[in-house]
Amino acid sequence: MHPPIFGHSFAVLVAPILLSVLAFNLLNRKRANARRNAEDADAGASSSSTAPTGDHYEVFLNFRGEDTRNGFTSHLYDRLVAAGIDVFLDDNKLRQGEEIGLDLLEAIKNSKILIPILSENYCESKWCLDELIQIMECKNNKTGHIVLPIFYKVNPRDVRHQSGSFGGAFLKRERPFNPATLKKYKQALTAVGKLKGREADGNEAELVNTIVQTVSNKLKKDYDLLIPKNLVGIDNLWRRL
């Protein structure tokens, strides 16, 4: 008697084809989602002047360059990109004049996950504080943005209360600001300091891996792949790939 044609060997034979189809469908689904986001942004622009436009990203990194650009932030950026995640990294090209530009505001609005990296001298940068205001506004507006703060060698309590060495940097920036702007900065810092985040005061390589895994897990919720349970042998082959 001949062995059944729809046995284990047949599943192994068709598995690569199925995986290719699943990968193709995943890519198309992601592209379709991006197109829908762009279409929603265009539609919203006709009814609201604050609707996001321009390029869309999965992660926006907000940080003070002199503190972390060539260290922690660059390692985090490289690992996120290596994981296939679209990341906006402020390279100063969009910074013109004293006020935050529309391109930067749109990059924040059009990113799914916003990661402020709060370092000791973070508050010495007006740009960091302006971006943080927009980040917290996105969260407060309940537009689906996720804010994951990184407390880089600073205590979250000091961020909340603008105290300690972190508060000292903030005091240096108080004088040039008018009371209304200063109030917004304090509100944004207090709010972000209350969020659950990650503290960087140890093994940075492990922390970077943890952050990348957290970001990946949150993004995967939008792109789940459903594997039919009745395919013989496919689960084991998927795990081996």
Q: What is the CATH number of the domain that holds 105?
A: 3.40.50.10140
Q: Which of 39, 58, 124, 131 is catalytic?
A: 131
Instruction: Examine residue 89 and state whether it is found in any structural domain, yes or no.
Output: yes
Instruction: Examine residue 129 and state whether it is found in any structural domain, yes or no.
Output: yes
Q: How confident is the model at residue 43 (pLDDT cuts 50, 70, 90)?
A: very low
The string over 133-162, giving b where at least 16 C-beta atoms fall within 10 Å of a residue's C-beta and e elsewhere, is bbbbbbbeeeeebbbbbbbbbbbbebbbeb
Its domain, for residue 191, covers 53-220
Number of domains in the chain: 1
Cα–chain center distance at 184: 23
Q: Tokens 């940068």, residue?
A: 125
**3-class secondary structure, 38:** helix
Of the listed ranges 16-20, 69-73, 110-114, the least confidently predicted one is 16-20
**What's the pLDDT score for residue 114?**
97
Report the pLDDT averaged over residues 58-84.
95
Instruction: Examine residue 29 and state whether it is found in any structural domain, yes or no.
Output: no
**What's the pLDDT score for residue 9?**
57
Instruction: Examine residue 215 and state whether it is found in any structural domain, yes or no.
Output: yes
**3-class secondary structure, 57:** strand
Cβ 101 vs Cβ 131: under 8 Å = no
Cβ 231 vs Cβ 10: under 8 Å = no
Instruction: Examine residue 203 and state whether it is found in any structural domain, yes or no.
Output: yes
Cβ 19 vs Cβ 238: under 8 Å = yes
Q: From residue 95, how far is each of 46, 62, 104, 230, 233 by CA, in Å? A: 27, 13, 8, 55, 54
**pLDDT higher than 50, residue 6:** no
pLDDT in tens, 81-94: 999 999 998 765 55
**What's the pLDDT score for residue 99?**
63
Report the pLDDT averaged over residues 193-208.
93
Q: How confident is the model at residue 52 (pLDDT cuts 50, 70, 90)?
A: very low
Q: Reply yes or no on whether 131 is catalytic.
A: yes
Distance (Å, whole) CA 162 – CA 219: 32
The string over 65-93, giving b where at least 16 C-beta atoms fall within 10 Å of a residue's C-beta and e elsewhere, is eebbbeebbeebbebbeeeebebbbbeee
φ and ψ of 36, to 5 deg? -65, -40
Instruction: Examine residue 3 and state whether it is found in any structural domain, yes or no.
Output: no
Instruction: Examine residue 1 and state whether it is found in any structural domain, yes or no.
Output: no
E strand or H helix at 59: strand 57-63
Instruction: Examine residue 16 and state whether it is found in any structural domain, yes or no.
Output: no
**3-class secondary structure, 60:** strand
Q: How confident is the model at residue 178 (pLDDT cuts 50, 70, 90)?
A: confident
Q: Tokens 């265009």, residue?
A: 42
